[in-house]
Every structure is written in structure tokens, then in C-alpha cells.
Structure 1
Amino acid sequence: MGDASLVELSIPQDVLQPLLSASNSSSLEETLENLIEASRTDVGRSGLASKNILPIVLQLSQNLPYPSGRHLLLSSLKLLRNLCAGEVANQDAFVEQNGVGVVSNILSSAGLLSDPDYGTIRMGLQVLANVSLAGEEHQRAIWRKFFPDEFVALARVRSQETCDPLCMVIYACCDGCPGLDAELCGDLGLPIVEEIVRTACVAGFREDWLKLILSKICLEGPHFPPLFLKLCHFGASSNGEDIEFRNDLFSSEHAFLLKIVSEILDERLNDITVPNEFTSCVFGIFKRSVGVTNSVLQCKSGLPTGSTAIDVLGYSLIILRDICAGKRSLGSSKEDDSMDAVDMLLSSGLVEMLLCLLGELEPPTIIRKGLKQGENQDSSSSYSLKPCPYRGFRRDIVAVIGNCAFGRKQVQDEIRQKNGILLLLQQCVTDEDNPFLREWGIWTVRNILEGSTENQHAVAELELQGSVEVPELTGLGLRVEVDPKTRRTKLVNIS
């Protein structure tokens, strides 16, 4: 007699017989296989609902011993999942018959093992996910049972198999029930998100539910700073400031969170206005990461590099680039007197800091190779210049400056006053260590020249003096000419 047959003998007859009759089968294993197959279609689910099968399957799930009856339990959960896939009668019956409690007990048993049963946990969460799509009543039933402790325990299961459906359940509940998203972002809820981030960092994720949760928390609400703080190795302020410079300042979870948030922002650039709390925190993180990476070896690769500190530097810079390219990057509307994210960054010294960082870097490869060792050149000066910490760092700095300069006269003026025009003109070159540097350089030069006669005059003077040769100006439709009357240089539009 096999294990399945022994388990079947322990099932009460008032549970077993209705299932055998409904599937016209002689064994429980065959019965579950037949019912699973029947429940794959709308017609099949509706037919089984009319026979009131779901309450019986719930009773079966309660009576199956675990882990000895794992195989049959997994089949029972799969049947429950199928039955609750869009069939309202089954979804209602699941909540009415305490299906949430039944699945909760199963998940607890599977998660308490020294080696967690990922398959059973995943299937149980898929059942809850299908039920959660039925509406607010079903979502609140799940939330009341699992929030916060059971959600935290499930989030600590370090498996991609379980992370995706858990995120689906949580997002569906928060998206469908007013007030639940506030609970998730509160003191009791953020530890759930923290553990989900830690799990996804080590195990990965395939579906977009995690991104939807992080978008709601980090970009649609002001909760990025406390979440980032929870991922710290040790105490730090919530805005990224007042942190001691240490090589272990940032964790791999920090780099992972910034990477995912940067992807979300890139995907939703045109429909998100980021909170100022988020912008301020990311800028603080960037400033601190600059200090940390001064003591970290250069990486030859692009992001991710494998170095936590450098990845934090790079992803925070990319986020700043996209914030400065956002839909409000031209400033607040007249109706809104509050300072937008870009204005806040500018008032905090972003452009000055980026110009300093750019000036500290050794020149692009093509310029380095073309430098002449003249008598006026200080041969020792190059030794104080730094290489890019990762492939693309120079390009990303130029991109942020270019986005800030778009349509902003105060940025155009600041760049000229900080002697940054020549430095930015030197970025209009191809560079093997910075893909698309030339394109971003041309974009930036265009933005610092457009509508600024002062900057145009400054560039014309530089070309006339032979300080810089910029064939890219022609590509912008511009040419340097000397006014025959005033003898002053000017940029002429030739396009």
C-alpha cells in the first residue's frame, strides 16, 4: 500500500466520498487530478461551484497530515487556486468557510520547517492571490489574518518562488482597500517591505508586483527614507546625512533598492512627480557615496559593478538624472508656489558639486591621448586626477547637468560663472569608457547655449582664442564669426 493510500485512509468519509463522486474516481489522488483538470476552464469552475466542492476541498486540506501528505496537500491547494480563479461563488465560499485561516495554518506549517517547503508556500499564496482579486471584503479578510506578523514571516522566506505571489497578495490588498496602503507604509508595515527587499535582493524576482509596491511606497508616497534606513547596517539619519564615511556604509540591499527604484522611475518618467522627501534623500545618499567611493578601487565595468559602494553611487546618480528630466523639470506652475524637486536640488548645490566631480576626473581618453606635453603643461597635474569609478560615470554626470540646464537660465548662468563651459565642451567626444558621452555632451552644450547670449559669446571667445575646438558646434547648426564692426565674436545659426 502506497503513502497516498495510507493518507487516504485517514480522511473522514464525509469528506472523501463527495469528492470521489464528483470526479467519478476510485482514489483520492486520481480525484484531485481530475478535478484540477476540470477547474482549468470557466465552465468547469462554474460546474464545481454548483456542486459546492470548494468547502469540501477546504475540509480535505485541514485533514491532510503534513508533511507526510504533502503531495496530496499540494494538489488540494492547486485545486483551490483554480477554483478561485475568477469564479465569484468559489471566492465568496472561500472567505465564508474560513479558507483564509485554513491556508494560513498550512503556510505556517510549511514555513516552520528547517528547510522551508517553497512549493507549498507558493501554492498557498497563489490561492490567496486569486481570492484577493474578488474585492474589498476578501482583501480585508486576508489582511486581518496576515498583517503584520504572518506577512513578515512569509517575506523572510528567501525564495523567488514565494516572493512574487506574496507581493501580488500585498499589492492587491493595498490597491483595492482604502487605508491598507497607509498601514503598509506605517511602523508595522515597513518591516514587511524591508524583508521583501532583502529576499528579492538574494533570490531575485520575475514579476512586476514588487515594482508596483515600491513605486507606491517610494515614488508615490514619502516613505523611501525610512525604508532605506531600515536596510542600514547601523544607525543613520533618514535623509542620508550625518553618516560616518565607512567602506561598509551601504549594504547590498541599498544598491538593489536603488537599482529597482531607478528602473521604475525610468519606466514611469512621464507620469510620476517624485516627492521632495525622496529627492532630498537620494541626493544625500549620492553625496555620502561620493565620500565612500574615494577609498574604493575603480571598477572597469558598468552598473552593476559588484561593489556595493560604487553601485549606490551610480544608481543614485541615475535617479537624479531622471528626476531632472521629469515632467516638472521646468519648474513649478504658477498655481503652485512650492519648490519642485529640481529647484530643490539646484538650491542644494547639485550643479556645483557635479562640475567639481567632473573637473576632478581625468579627461576623456581621446583628449588625454591628444594632450601635448608643452612647456607650459604641468606634467605632475594629471597625477591628481581620478579615473571614473565605473564605466559610464562621466556620461551620467554630464547627463544630469544637461537635464538641469534645459530651459533653466539660472543653471546656464551658474555653469558660466563656475567656469564650467570649457569643461562641458570637452565632453562632446566619443569615449570608450563612457558610451554615449558625445551625445549627452552635445545635448548639454545645446542646453547651456540655447537662449543665452552670454554663454554663446563665451564659447565664441574660446574658439577664437584656440582654447577649444568643437566641431560639434557645427552639428548644432552654429558657427563662430567675428562681427566686422565691433570685432567681437559671436555664434551664428547656420542651420
Structure 2
Amino acid sequence: MAAPRPPPGRLSGVMVPAPIPDLEALRALTALFKEQRNRNLDTIGVAVDLVLLFRELRVEPDSLLTAFRCGLQFLGNIASRNEDSQAIVWVHAFPELFMTCLNHPDKKIVAYCSMILFTSLNPERMKELEENLNIAINVIEAHQKQPESEWPFLIITDHFLKSPELVQAMYAKLSNQERVTLLDLMIAKLVGDEPLAKDDVPVFLRHAELIASSFVDQCRTVLRLTSEQHADEEALATIRLLDVLCEMTANTELLGYLQGFPGLLERVIDLLRLIHVAGKDTTNIFNTSGCIKAEGDISNVAEGFKSHLIRLIGNLCYKNKDNQDKVNELDGIPLILDNCSIDDSNPFLTQWVVYAIRNLTEDNSQNQDLIAKMEEQGLADASLLKKMGFEVEKRGEKLILKTTRDNPPP
């Protein structure tokens, strides 16, 4: 890792004022360096020194602030589409310039600095970020503060998410709010218009390991929402982990790995049971249509949570007999059927129950027999089963659960 460039000299502890170039000349130079033939690598160190000088001026006159911005634009232009320039910029700017400018109060300075970082990063330099996690965390913070800014978003989606080592190291250091931001961008990558590229699949398998293990370890933190009147940040991060798992298991390239992830299916069923019981016992956020309203309204923080648990169970059981049987062993089928009701807090809950039951009973006579016997014993509502697209038929002494629909819901 290159050593940071020394800051401009000081005399008796006082910053020596460096001559500030004419603003119009700096603007003209910045424009010239947009053209390949005009680039001179010897100017990069001087430009970085000037930017690091400007950083000392946190309450700048307008002209100095403009010079600060132009200096960063100059570095961004000189590095654009030129690997030699990018290497020199990195040597001079990393890590000090990025640590200085990514958390600057001026939005344009943050954006221009992010542009330089995005342009300069490559797989080798990503390893240096693992040793300077504060820079990576500052990018997450910049995206939180300026979600409309393109460059922090692109750094995360096009660079960070391609490095499972960085994501794992960073995730351990992030606050829960920052984790939610990172997980939201992971979802955006999974549900984007373009499917995961072939090269992205091994990387996302590593991400899946992190997400699944984090959910298995932390999922019970969601139960804090049954008693607290304010949203618990760790619980919110756990809710977002579930959202990511739903999207990951909707991807055929990632599904098989997660179907066999140790403890995941058991944890999901356990959590569904706990919040289902909690919703019946007391008035809390997991009531069928209830919510808590106090100083901070948390009525929507768990919206769809139960639906997503059942969706995840359905995904994990898709064409997987071992998981179908495991849900049966854990008494998960009656639990899922008991959740087939209208719930304002869980849109499409009934549809996800239907989806899960179809995946649980496909080519599984044992699970089909269980539901048929439940209907005969009055433990499963026949009219409800009919609405779900099933009916029980008695053939001699045997009860048969059969579908009344040709095609299952998507």
C-alpha cells in the first residue's frame, strides 16, 4: 500500500498559505485534461497537494470552494479512461484525499471525490480498501446522505459488491442503518433489469453465505418489536436480511445453496411460529391488522414480514423433498395454513401461503396426506382449501388431496 502523500508544509504550526491559481486558469486546465493528448502526469501530485490544502478551509469563501471543486474535477478528468493516470492519482490520493473528501459537508466535493474513487478502483486496489475500511464505510454514508448521487451508488454496486471479502469485512463494522443501506443495494442488484452475470454468481454465493448466517444468528432480534414502541435498528437490519434471502432464493443460481444452508429453514419456521403466537397473544406490531403508534410510528417497519417468511419457506421447499419433509417434521404445515387470512400488514399473504403449500405438496404424498387428514378432522377449513385451489377427495379408505387449478400462482 502506498504511503499517504505528506500534507503541504507548515511553519511554526501554522499552515503556509500556498498561492491559489487563477480560478479561470484552473477551469481551463480542467477542461483541457478531458482530452487524452493534454494529460501530464507530473501535475497530479501538485493537484492533490492543492486539494489537501483546500480541505483545511472548512468555511470557505465562494472562490476557494470553487477552486476545491475544480481541483477534484481536474483529478477526475485526468484519471478518466487512462490507467497510467489512475495509478498515479491512486499513489498520491490514497488514502488521505478520500478520507478527507468523502465526508465533506459540500455535496459536490463528495460527488467529485466519489467519481475519482470509482474511476481509479480495480481488483488490486480493492484489497487496499480492505485495510482502510473507513473509506468504504464513508462511501456507504455518502450514499445514505445523497441517494440521488450516481457515483457512491456505482462504487457500491460495480465495485464493492464484486468483492465478497470487502463486503464481509465491511459488514462487521457497519452500523445497523448502514447495513440496511448496503442490503438495499444488494437487493437492487438482484432484482435489476439485467440478470446476474455469470461472473457475479460465485460472488453472490459468497454473499449468500454471509446473509444466511447473519439471519440465522440474529433473526430473533425481530421479536423486540413486539414490546418496543420505537423501531429497533438491529431488528430493522434483520428484516432487510430476510428481504435479501427472498430475492436470493428467487434466483435459480443461488437457490440450491440456500436450500441446504444449515439451520436456515428451521430458523424461519421457528420465527414464523413465534411471531404468529405473539400476534395472537397481545396487541403488537404482528397482530393481523394491528400496529403500534407512539412517538415513532413503527406500523410499517415489519410490513410484509410474515408474508416474506412464508415466501422463503416456499422457495426453500421448491422441488426439494428433504426440505418438504423437514417442514412436516417441524409441524410447519398447520402453522402455514393457520396464517391464510387477510392481513393489512402482510399484502399477498394468502397468495404466498398457496405458493408454499403447493411447493410443500408437489410430489410429496406424505404432506398431501397430512393436509387431507387435517381437513377430515376439521383442522383445515375445506372452504379455505378450495379458495387455495385444493380439495380433498375420499377414495375408499384413502383421502386424496388434489389441486383444482391447472397452473400454480407465480
Question: Taking structure 1 as the reference length, what is the TM-score of the superposition?
Answer: 0.65
Instruction: Give the aligned residue type for 1:140.
Output: A
Deviation at 1:316, TM superposition (A): 1.3
2:399 to 466, 480, 488: 488
Instruction: Give the aligned residue type for 1:317.
Output: L
Deviation at 1:119, TM superposition (A): 5.0
Structure 1: runs of 5+ lacking an equivalent: 1-62, 232-249, 332-339, 369-381
1:28-60: per-residue Cα shift (whole Å, max 9, x none)? xxxxxxxxxxxxxxxxxxxxxxxxxxxxxxxxx
1:88 to 27, 31, 36: 36
The answer as to whether partners of 1:364 and 1:431 remain within 8 angstroms in 2 is no
- Written as runs of structure 1 = structure 2, the 5 A alignment for 1:55-94 is 65-66=19-20, 73=23, 75-85=24-34, 87-90=35-38, 92=39
Structure 2: runs of 5+ lacking an equivalent: 1-16, 288-300
Instruction: Give the aligned residue type for 1:437.
Output: L
Structure 1 CA distance, aligned partners of 2:226 and 2:405?
46
Match of 1:10 in 2: none
- Written as runs of structure 1 = structure 2, the 5 A alignment for 1:289-438 is 289-296=218-225, 307-331=232-256, 340=257, 342-345=258-261, 348-362=262-276, 382-383=281-282, 387=286, 390-438=302-350
Match of 2:53 in 1: 109
Distance change >3 Å, CA 407–CA 169, structure 1 → 2: farther
Distance change >3 Å, CA 383–CA 132, structure 1 → 2: same
Match of 2:146 in 1: 204
Deviation at 1:457, TM superposition (A): 1.9
Match of 2:128 in 1: 183
Distance change >3 Å, CA 77–CA 432, structure 1 → 2: farther
The answer as to whether partners of 2:99 and 2:134 remain within 8 angstroms in 1 is yes
- Name which one, 1 or 2, has greater alpha-carbon Rg: 1
The answer as to whether partners of 2:285 and 2:302 remain within 8 angstroms in 1 is no
Instruction: Give the aligned residue type for 1:109.
Output: L
Deviation at 1:163, TM superposition (A): 2.9
Deviation at 1:147, TM superposition (A): 1.5
SS state of the match for residue 347, structure 2?
Answer: coil
Deviation at 1:307, TM superposition (A): 4.1
Deviation at 1:76, TM superposition (A): 4.3
Match of 1:246 in 2: none
Deviation at 1:230, TM superposition (A): 2.7
Deviation at 1:359, TM superposition (A): 0.9
Structure 2 CA distance, aligned partners of 1:409 and 1:325?
18
Whether 1:254 and 2:179 are equivalent positions in the alignment is yes
Deviation at 1:453, TM superposition (A): 2.0
Distance change >3 Å, CA 283–CA 65, structure 1 → 2: same
1:382-429: per-residue Cα shift (whole Å, max 9, x none)? 249982772221122122212212222211111111111121123333
Deviation at 1:328, TM superposition (A): 1.8
2:115 to 157, 163, 168: 168
Instruction: Give the aligned residue type for 1:464.
Output: E
Whether 1:452 and 2:399 are equivalent positions in the alignment is no
Deviation at 1:64, TM superposition (A): 8.8
Structure 1 CA distance, aligned partners of 2:147 and 2:69?
13
1:194 to 114, 137, 142: 137
SS state of the match for residue 443, structure 1?
Answer: helix
SS state of the match for residue 156, structure 1?
Answer: coil
Instruction: Give the aligned residue type for 2:166.
Output: H
Instruction: Give the aligned residue type for 1:252.
Output: Q
- Written as runs of structure 1 = structure 2, the 5 A alignment for 1:226-241 is 226-231=169-174
Distance change >3 Å, CA 83–CA 222, structure 1 → 2: same
Structure 1 CA distance, aligned partners of 2:80 and 2:318?
44
Size of the aligned set, in residue pairs, is 369
1:285 to 188, 191, 214: 214
Distance change >3 Å, CA 121–CA 478, structure 1 → 2: farther
Distance change >3 Å, CA 64–CA 220, structure 1 → 2: closer
Deviation at 1:306, TM superposition (A): 5.8
Instruction: Give the aligned residue type for 2:264.
Output: L
Distance change >3 Å, CA 76–CA 453, structure 1 → 2: farther
Structure 2 CA distance, aligned partners of 1:402 and 1:254?
26
Match of 2:11 in 1: none
Distance change >3 Å, CA 79–CA 475, structure 1 → 2: farther
Deviation at 1:288, TM superposition (A): 4.7
Deviation at 1:440, TM superposition (A): 2.3
Match of 1:221 in 2: 164
The answer as to whether partners of 2:259 and 2:316 remain within 8 angstroms in 1 is no
Structure 2 CA distance, aligned partners of 1:174 and 1:409?
45
| Worse-superposed segment, 104-113 or 204-213 | 204-213
Structure 2 CA distance, aligned partners of 1:321 and 1:311?
16
The answer as to whether partners of 1:259 and 1:315 remain within 8 angstroms in 2 is yes
- Structure with larger RCO (C-alpha < 8 A, sep 6+): 2
User: What is the root-mean-square deviation of aligned Cα atoms in Å?
Assistant: 3.3
Question: Taking structure 2 as the reference length, what is the TM-score of the superposition?
Answer: 0.77
The answer as to whether partners of 2:102 and 2:139 remain within 8 angstroms in 1 is yes
